[in-house]
Amino acid sequence: MSTQTADHTHIRATNLAAVLGYLRREAPCSRAAIATGTGLNKATVTSIVGDLLERRLVRETQQTQNHVGRPATLLVLDGSAYATIGLEVSARGLTALGCDTAGEQVLRWHRAGPGVDAGPAKTIASLANLARRAVTAVQSSGRQVLGITVGVPGLVNRDGAVVLAAGLGWRDVPMRAELVAAIGRPDIPVTVDNDASLGVLAEHLYGPHAGTGNLIRLTGDTGVGAGIIVDGKPLEGHLGYVGEIGHLRLVPDGPRCGCGRRGCLEALASLPAILARADVTDSDPQLQLEELIRRADAQETAVTQVLAEAGAYLGQGIAALVNILNPEVVLLGGAYALLADHLTPALDKALREATIAPDAGGCTVLASTLPDTATPLGATAQALTPLTRGHLPVR
């Protein structure tokens, strides 16, 4: 490919991404409004909108703008032709979410199990089965599946292998390769990513703090991970191993962690650690959490004390993030969101004590409003990355 062609293709994709981004934020809107909003000239916008109409990514509405002059036809995103599938693996089970290209949910399934003890082979088989069924369901709604992304609570390398998922007891699992084989749809791209990174992506795109330049979200189910948005962009790092706040050592010679070390934040304040210390008796993960919340809400001292201790440890862990990254907002995800009232008094106190900047550097810690769905929702958004970067679906 010549430089000229490469440049032209690149410019076309950049412009297409700008038009789609504008539509995502502002639709319904006219071609003229898109041209003004993106700084592109009208001929370019008309040509790009033509492509988008042809691929059924955009449609014209009867609705017209209420202003002086000739009425302009308005454009909206069309979700009827394509969707992506987001999956999550956690100690609480498997989740599948389907979203169309207009941002509407087209399916949402949760399946308990196969349980932390099942091991990677069984879990991947269950996940592939769920993915195949989700693909079939999306397709039978008339939509083409553009991609599948899976969130996992652990270190994921650039090939989609899980290097370590301490909370699941996984090490060196070539998850993407195995999933691709088990799903048996080589035409659909499959990506594997860290659950926390996907969770914060959902908050940054769709949550009440969407667009916040420096935003962190903690996962709170299997382990403790931080998804990090820095100066408006997801943090990636050298090899993608970012946000591993769960393995910050808070107590020298503290309790043993799933990673093999002692005194990690995760060993002190993860949901499994809290459940164990609060002597929760139920064996079903979902019912365990419900029991914990019920006993905490009843002000049972043994439980509120465990939660206050966990909150203080979380505050120390968040302080490390705040001292290094100075975020504006930290969101508590998963079970932490549901337990926030019991965690935050001790959490806020510890955070303020351990942060060098006054007033925790202007940071606010809040419960996520997407406690359960942020990871799979972020996964649907990530599977849409080629399109949001301006590359049209292959037909």
Nearest to its own copies of 320, 367 (CB atom):
320
Q: Is the separation of the CB atoms in 338 and 376 below 8 Å?
A: no
CB of 370 to its own copies, least distance (A): 21
Eight-state DSSP code of residue 130: H
Interacting residue with its own copies among 111, 261, 352, 391 (CB under 8 A): 261
| Residues 373-392 contacting its own copies, CB under 8 A | none
Identity of the residue, 205 or 251, whose beta carbon is nearer to its own copies in the bound complex: 251
- Residue written as token pair 């652990």: 154
Cβ closest to its own copies, residue 250 vs residue 377: 250
Element spanning 150, H or E:
strand 144-152
Side chain identity at 264, as an amino acid letter? C
| Interface segment toward its own copies; rule CB under 8 A; list 52-60, 116-124, 317-325, 341-349 | 317-325
Among 75, 135, 152, 245, binds its own copies (CB under 8 A): 245
Residues facing residue 215 across a β-bridge: 229, 329
Residue 159 CB burial class (10 angstroms; 0-12, 13-18, ≥19): exposed
CB of 153 to its own copies, least distance (A): 12
Q: Does residue 211 interact with its own copies by CB under 8 A?
A: no
Cβ distance to its own copies smaller for residue 229 or 339: 229
Q: What residues numbered 19-78 form the site for its own copies, per CB under 8 A?
A: 36, 39
Burial zone of 215 (CB within 10 Å; 0-12 exposed, 13-18 middle, 19+ buried): buried
- Compute how many other C-beta atoms are within 10 angstroms of the C-beta atom of residue 73: 13
With binding defined as CB under 8 A, does residue 247 bind its own copies?
A: yes
Q: What is the rounded CA–CA span in Å between residue 110 and residue 313? A: 30
Spatial CA neighbour of 129 closest among 111, 143, 151: 111
The span from the CA of 13 to the CA of 85, in Å, is 23
Q: Enter the tokens of residue 100.
A: 């169309």
CA angle 330, 322, 364 (to 5 degrees): 35
Stretch that binds its own copies, among 235-243, 274-282, 369-377, 383-391 (CB under 8 A): 235-243
Q: Which one of the spans 245-253, 299-307, 333-341, 383-391 is the region binding its own copies (CB under 8 A)?
A: 245-253
Q: Which residues bind its own copies (CB under 8 A)?
A: 3, 7, 36, 39, 155, 163-164, 166, 213-214, 226, 228, 230-231, 233, 235-249, 251-252, 259, 261, 316, 320-321, 323-328, 353-354, 356-358, 361-363
